[in-house]
Structures are given as structure tokens and as C-alpha cells.
């Protein structure tokens, strides 16, 4: 009998599971065939009794370690699986909301574009200097009147805009300049109908292209002398506006609450106004444009038809910083209603623009006393611009927007942004009749501006205002002579 055959036979038997749970097993060998048997028989010789050998302690420890390692691998796989699921959920959320940042601020948008949100703002930092104001006094007094030279934050605004459920838009804008907080825009808008927009809340009224345009887009640092009529009467107010904005024409009709101060007694309820603006562009191409517009406004200052009437004041300051008013009607008492009409015309040809506006105002009073007669005032301006670097201003929905440089300013690349030269002549006539107490003066002003656009976000501006003519102004020169006040202004603008 060979031991190798015996070992193989024993391994075969035990590997096949023939061993029992007994502590010992008797084995027999056939003397002729040398085969191994577990039972005695003819020609078989007992080899002996064989006991089951238990695993050693080292083998048990190794098996336990392998089992623990397998369990740890299972736990790691489960943890990785959870991490993969979390990453998958995160990727789904990322696909649902798109976030980007650019010259329009921070923007969020859902994958289906039904929900949008944007946060932006503007900072206008100004400096101004006036000359010729050293020997001025207020008309009819000896009180010295002088422009304030210096620096200021002209505007510091934060705005939030958004869309929800695709058809609803909102806008909110607050200004933190002048060490105070004021609400500019705060409205909701429905755009679900193809050709109409419905806007409710605090908004710009439908009157005047110059007033409609954003301060970020104006050619000049301040609006023209025509703003002496427009700002107190047709600037922002709470109301409802219905508009249709097509490629070549726009139309708006709105009704608004009162933005003019009530009588000193405070007994009058808030008045109301209705106005409308329509524009048409018979030529409307990217670098060729003709714009025509007309607007009307009626304002009733007192809903209760109060005997005292409302109050109105029209005036124009040399700059926002100066607080010097060269024309000023003072408080006009007993005002019952105001009617206004405005005309607009502009043209664009490549880098050139030209245009202007005219506004006429009629003031109806209660005639509480003989001196309180009806009044009429007017103002107008004409302007022209040339983009030295060749860009064209933008036009959309009856309004002009600032240009975008073809090449942004970069010292590294040797590019200088866009440069724009503009000029404007404006006039306001706040004299109504001879010898009345409500003559606020007549004034004409020449403005020359140079604008530097470093990119779509940053712009520097320089304006020079030259007073050309004054008739019955709100100020006088000590010793006689016509006041001759000129103002130079600078601005750094950040808008996004």
C-alpha cells in the first residue's frame, strides 16, 4: 500500500462529505486491489481508527479575519452606493436650476424656464463744481444762494427681478442714496396674452421717452430742463398700466394714484391720473431708425374736489448735488387739474443719433382768489450724439438703451472700450403771464457730454452745462446783471 494513494483516498472521502459526526472512523484495505473501505469484508484488513482533526487556532483566527474583512467590504460598498445616490440626486437638482453670472448680475433659471430670478444693482458716484454762483441771492431777498460743490452717491440701488409660472413677472428696486431708503419700482406684471402686458404697482407712468429711459442708459448725467415739468407730475406712481409692445410700435394706457403733495390742511383724499403713450418706428433696423411718439396726461389733484385745491411746484436745479434752483415757481396753490401733451422724434444712423421732445402743460385752478388764474408752461430739448468708436445705441419697445463696446477696455490687449460724444440744448419756460405771482423764470441750457464705456458694466461720464439765457429767474446777481452759472460734473457708474 502506498501512502500517497492512502492520502488521496482519505481526502476524497472527507472532501465528498462521507465523514460522519462521530469522533472516529474505522478504515479497511483490500489486500488485492488496495482499495479503501469504511466497512469490513472478505479480503479486507483493518488499517485502523482515524479521528476528525479540528481546525487550528491560527486557521480559525484567519477565517474570522477574512469574514470581518468581507463584512467591512460590504459596509463600504453600501456607503459608496449611498454616496452615488446622493450625487445622482444633486446632479438632477443641478439640471433643474441653471445659475449664471454676467453683466446682468446673478441669474437663476429652472430647466423649463418657467421660473427665473435675477439680482442686480447700480452705483452712480458723482462729483460736481459750479462757477458764477458767488454773488447770487434768492429773488426778492438778500439771502445768499450758492451751489454746493463736492461729491455724492447719486444712486445706490438694489433690484430683484423674476418670473414665476412663465406668465408672471415682478420687479422690485430700492435706492439707498442721500442717506435714506426709497422705493423706486415695485410691481407685478402679467404677460400671458400674446400682444398685451398688464402691470400693477409702483412704476414709471406712460409719458416721455426721456423719463422712460433708465438712468443707466441716458446720454447725459441728468435729464433735460423738460424734467422740471415731468418729474413732479408723471414720474413713478402706484397704478395699473396696460401696454402692447410690438417691434415697430408700442402703446400704453395707465391710471395712477397721486404723486403730488396734498393741501397743507391735509383734508383732501388722494387724487388720480390717467395717461397714455404711443410710439411708432417706420424705419426700425439695427443701425437705421426713425422713432416718433406722442403722449398725454391728465391729473386730478383732489378726489374730494376740495375747495383749497392741491399744490404744485415746478423747478430745475443745476445738478442734484448743487441744490441751486435757477428757475422755480414756488408753491402753486389751488390747483384743481393738470393736463399735459408730449411729442417725441428721434433718428439713428449707425453711430449717430439725433432727436428731441416737447412738453406742454396746462394748470387749472380753483380761482379761490382773483390772482389764482389758470397757468400754462412748456419745455423742450434737442440732442445729438456720435459714437467715436463706431457702435450704435440700442432700441427696443420705444426706448433707447446704452451701447455695448465692440471691444472691452483692456491694457493687456490694447483695447479701449467705446467713446461717445453728445450735445443737448434744452429750454424750460415757467413764466405764465405778465405780472403774475407764478412766474418761475425761463431758462436755456447747453450740455456737452463725453462718455467712456469700459464694458457693459462700467462707464465714466463727464458733463459740462452752460447757462445761455435766463428770464425772470429764481435768483439774482448782487449789483445787477444776469446770473451766469456753469456746472461741470463727473460720474463713475457701475451697473449690473
pTM: 0.78
Beta bridge partners of 447: 424, 465
Q: Number of helices (H) and strands (E), helices first, in the chain?
A: 4, 28
Distance separating alpha carbons of residues 138 and 384, to the nearest angstrom: 34
Residue 173: Cβ-neighbour burial (10 angstroms; 0-12, 13-18, 19+): buried
Domain coverage including residue 81:
57-102
Q: What is the pLDDT of residue 17?
A: 45
Both 14 and 88 in one domain: the answer is: no
Distance separating alpha carbons of residues 429 and 400, to the nearest angstrom: 26
Both 113 and 88 in one domain: the answer is: no
Q: What is the pLDDT of residue 67?
A: 82
Both 372 and 435 in one domain: the answer is: yes
**Which residues of the chain fall below pLDDT 50?**
1-22
The torsion of the CA quartet 432, 433, 434, 436, rounded to 10 degrees, works out to -70
Strands 375-387 and 352-365, bridge-based pairing = antiparallel
- Domains identified in the chain, total number: 3
Q: Is 201 left (phi over 0), alpha (psi -120 to 50) or beta?
A: left
Cα 467–chain centre separation: 35
Residue 19 burial (CB count, 10 A): 14
DSSP one-letter string for 169-222: EEEEEEE-GGGS-EEEEEEEEE--STT-EEEEEEE--S--HHHHS-TTT-SSSS
Query: Please, which residues have CB within 8 angstroms of residue 394's CB and are 6 or more apart in sequence?
Result: 400, 401, 402, 403, 404
Burial 59-75 (b: 16+ CB within 10 A, else e): eeeeeeeeeeeeeeeee
Both 344 and 449 in one domain: the answer is: yes
CA atoms in the 13 A half-sphere facing the CB of 97: 11
Beta bridge partners of 244: 251
Q: What is the pLDDT of residue 434?
A: 55
Both 129 and 98 in one domain: the answer is: no
Q: What is the pLDDT of residue 266?
A: 55
Both 222 and 271 in one domain: the answer is: yes
pLDDT in tens, 256-312: 997 776 555 555 677 899 999 999 999 999 999 999 999 999 999 876 555 566 788
Both 158 and 289 in one domain: the answer is: yes
Both 45 and 62 in one domain: the answer is: no
SS3 92: helix
Both 42 and 87 in one domain: the answer is: no
| Sign of the dihedral defined by the CA atoms of residues 310, 316, 321, 323, in that order | negative
pLDDT in tens, 63-111: 788 888 888 888 888 888 888 888 776 666 556 778 887 777 788 898 8
Q: What is the pLDDT of residue 55?
A: 61
Both 291 and 401 in one domain: the answer is: yes
Residue 72 φ then ψ, to 5°: -65, -40
SS3 320: coil
Both 181 and 216 in one domain: the answer is: yes
Look up the CATH number of the domain holding residue 305. 2.40.160.10
Q: What is the gyration radius of the CA atoms in the chain, in angstroms? A: 43
Distance separating alpha carbons of residues 329 and 404, to the nearest angstrom: 40
Both 220 and 319 in one domain: the answer is: yes
Beta bridge partners of 296: 276, 341
Amino acid at each position: 500500500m502506498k501512502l500517497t494513494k492512502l492520502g488521496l483516498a482519505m481526502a476524497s472521502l472527507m472532501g465528498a462529505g462521507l465523514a460522519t459526526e462521530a469522533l472516529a472512523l474505522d478504515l479497511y484495505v483490500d489486500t488485492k486491489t488496495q482499495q479503501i473501505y469504511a466497512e469490513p469484508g472478505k479480503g479486507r484488513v483493518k488499517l485502523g481508527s482515524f479521528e476528525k482533526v479540528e481546525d487550528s487556532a491560527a486557521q480559525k483566527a484567519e477565517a474570522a479575519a477574512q469574514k470581518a474583512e468581507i463584512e467591512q467590504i460590504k459596509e463600504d460598498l453600501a456607503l459608496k452606493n449611498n454616496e452615488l445616490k446622493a450625487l445622482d440626486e444633486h446632479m438632477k437638482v443641478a439640471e433643474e436650476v441653471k445659475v449664471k453670472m454676467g453683466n446682468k448680475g446673478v441669474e437663476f433659471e429652472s430647466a423649463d424656464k418657467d421660473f427665473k430670478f435675477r439680482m442686480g444693482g447700480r452705483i452712480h458716484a458723482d462729483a460736481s463744481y459750479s462757477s458764477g454762483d458767488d454773488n447770487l441771492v434768492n429773488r426778492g431777498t438778500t439771502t445768499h444762494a450758492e451751489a454746493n460743490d463736492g461729491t455724492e452717491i447719486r444712486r445706490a440701488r438694489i433690484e430683484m427681478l423674476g418670473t414665476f409660472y412663465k406668465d408672471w413677472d415682478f420687479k422690485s428696486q430700492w435706492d439707498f442714496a442721500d442717506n435714506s431708503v426709497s422705493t423706486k419700482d415695485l410691481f407685478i406684471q402679467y404677460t400671458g396674452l400674446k400682444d398685451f402686458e398688464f402691470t400693477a404697482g409702483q412704476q414709471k407712468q406712460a409719458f416721455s421717452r426721456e423719463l422712460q429711459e433708465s438712468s443707466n442708459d441716458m446720454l447725459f448725467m441728468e435729464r433735460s430742463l423738460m424734467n422740471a415739468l415731468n418729474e413732479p407730475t408723471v414720474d413713478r406712481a402706484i397704478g395699473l398700466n396696460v401696454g402692447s409692445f410690438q417691434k415697430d410700435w408700442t402703446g400704453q394706457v395707465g391710471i395712477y394714484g397721486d404723486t403730488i403733495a396734498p393741501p397743507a390742511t391735509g383734508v383732501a383724499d388722494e387724487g388720480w391720473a390717467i395717461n397714455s403713450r404711443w410710439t411708432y418706428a417706420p424705419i426700425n433696423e439695427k443701425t437705421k431708425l426713425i422713432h416718433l411718439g406722442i403722449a398725454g396726461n391728465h391729473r386730478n389733484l383732489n378726489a374730494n374736489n376740495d375747495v383749497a385745491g392741491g399744490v404744485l411746484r415746478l423747478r430745475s436745479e443745476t445738478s442734484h448735488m448743487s441744490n441751486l434752483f435757477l428757475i422755480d415757481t414756488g408753491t402753486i396753490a389751488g390747483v384743481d387739474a393738470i393736463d399735459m401733451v408730449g411729442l417725441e422724434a428721434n433718428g439713428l444712423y449707425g453711430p449717430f443719433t439725433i432727436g428731441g421732445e416737447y412738453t406742454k402743460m396746462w394748470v387749472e385752478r380753483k380761482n379761490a382768489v382773483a390772482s389764482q388764474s389758470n397757468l400754462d408752461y412748456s419745455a423742450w430739448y434737442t440732442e445729438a450724439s456720435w459714437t467715436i468708436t463706431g457702435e450704435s445705441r440700442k432700441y427696443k419697445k420705444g426706448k433707447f438703451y446704452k451701447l455695448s463696446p465692440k471691444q472691452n477696455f483692456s491694457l493687456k490687449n490694447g483695447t479701449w472700450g467705446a467713446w461717445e460724444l453728445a450735445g443737448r440744448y434744452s429750454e424750460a419756460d415757467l413764466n405764465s403771464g405778465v405780472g403774475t405771482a407764478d412766474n418761475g423764470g425761463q431758462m436755456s441750457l447747453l450740455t456737452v457730454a463725453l462718455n467712456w464705456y469700459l464694458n457693459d458694466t462700467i462707464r465714466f461720464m463727464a458733463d459740462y452745462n452752460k447757462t445761455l439765457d435766463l428770464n425772470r429767474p429764481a435768483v439774482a446777481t448782487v449789483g445787477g446783471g444776469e446770473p451766469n452759472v456753469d456746472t461741470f460734473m463727473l460720474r463713475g457708474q457701475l451697473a449690473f
